[in-house]
Amino acid sequence: MMKNAKLLLVGFAGLVLISLAFGRAMAGTPASGNAASAVPAAAAGDPSLFTALLPVLKHPRCLNCHSAGDFPRQGDDGHPHGMNVRRGVGGLGVTAQKCDTCHQDHNVAGPHTPPGAPGWRLPSTATPMIWQGKTDGELCNLIKDPKENSHRTVAQIVEHMTADKLVLWGWAPGEGRNPVPMGQQEFSTKVKAWAAAGAPCPAR
C-alpha cells in the first residue's frame, strides 16, 4: 500500500514539472494579436523593412505631390504642373487655381483627364513633406518626425499609407497613367511589418 502511494506521489510530481515547463515555454510565445511581439528578433530594427517601401514612395504617383518646390508635378517624368499651379498655404492651391477647380473626388473618365480622389491636395506649407532629393535614411526620418508629418504617430502613418483614399489613388490613377509598381495589399503588409519592427530607418 505504501509502495503504491509513493508511486502515485512520484507520478503527480512529474506531471507538475511537465506543466511548469509547458507554461514557461508558452510564456515565451508572442500573442497573435500583438504585431510588435510577433516580429522575429532578426527583423526588429532591420532598415531593409523601410527600403522595401521605396518602390512606392519614390514612384511619380507619390513623388509628384512630395516634390521639391512650391508646386505639384505631373507625369512619369515629374515635370512641373501646367498653368503655374502653386501649393498655397493649406496645400489647396491659390486664388482661382484651387486644386478642386479641376480635381474632383474621382478620376475624370478618359485618357489624361484630371485625376481625382477625396481630399486632393498637396501637403501644407507648414509641413510640406518634400521627399525629392532625400536619401533613404533622411526620407524615413522625415516621415516619422512629428514636426514634419503633421504630428502623426507611427500608427497614424500606417493608417495614412494603407487606408487614406488619396494615397490609395496611386493604385488606380486613371487612364493613361502608370500605377505604383507594387500591389496595394503587398505594400500594406510591408508598411505594417516596418512599423511592428519599431519603424527602423537606414543610416542617414
Give SS3 for 94.
strand
Q: Quick check: 8 pLDDT over 70? A: no
pTM of the model: 0.79
Give residue limits of the domains in the chain: 45-196
Q: Is the pLDDT of residue 121 over 50?
A: yes
Cβ atoms 197, 49 nearer than 8 A: yes
Residue 87, CA distances (Å) to 25, 73, 91, 177 in order: 57, 11, 5, 22
pLDDT at 112: 86
Kindly list the distances between the CA atom of residue 152 and the CA atoms of 93, 124, 158, in Å, as whole numbers in the listed order.
23, 14, 10
* Gap between the terminal Cα atoms of the chain: 76
Q: How far is CA 202 from the centre of its chain?
A: 16
Q: What is the pLDDT of residues 20-64, one digit of tens each?
A: 343 433 333 333 334 444 455 558 899 999 999 999 999 999 999
Q: What is the pLDDT of residue 44?
A: 82
